Amino acid sequence: MPRLAIVLAAFVALLGLWPAAEARAEDGKQVFLKKECNECHTVESAGIAKLPAKDDEAEADEEEGEEEDDTKPPDLSGVGKKHDRDWIAKFIQKKIETDKGKKHRKRFKGSQAELEALLGFLAGLQTPAASSSEK
């Protein structure tokens, strides 16, 4: 009988973690929006559209010493299927490049908690955009 109680308690504990995982993913989505990652990126699978362009965007990038190039930033709907959490962290912190030699345009500037939440959200994006050629 004590064994059944332990198994039941473990099961109840696991069920309690499910909403917490969903909340963390939602927190990551909020960080994505708060940090205005959608100035450049869309996330079609999460219903996130690109923000309207700001007039002072290029000027702000120059002031911060950030690079600007002509590459169109991708929709991030399936990013978690292509890259793991560690790769995404290094990329948004400008520590690594893509296989095409590109670095992320802007270095992530947020707290460790915000970074962790954002990574959870991005790594969880497993479904490519419907408009993507990668289905």
- Which residues of the chain are modeled with pLDDT < 50? 18-23, 58-63, 134-135
Which fold would CATH assign to domain 2-123? Answer: Cytochrome Bc1 Complex; Chain D, domain 2 (1.10.760)
Task: Quickly tell me which residue has 């419907």 as its tokens.
Answer: 130
3-state SS record for 88-128: HHHHHCCCCCCCCCCCCCCCCCCCHHHHHHHHHHHHCCCCC
Domain edges within the chain: 2-123
pLDDT value at position 19?
Answer: 46
Q: What is the pLDDT of residue 56?
A: 56
What pLDDT is recorded for position 133?
A: 53
Residue 62, pLDDT score: 44
**Contacting residues for 10 by C-beta, under 8 A, at least 6 apart:** none
Global pTM reads: 0.70
- What is the amino acid identity at position 9? A
pLDDT for position 132? 65
pLDDT tens across 59-68, in order? Answer: 444 445 555 5
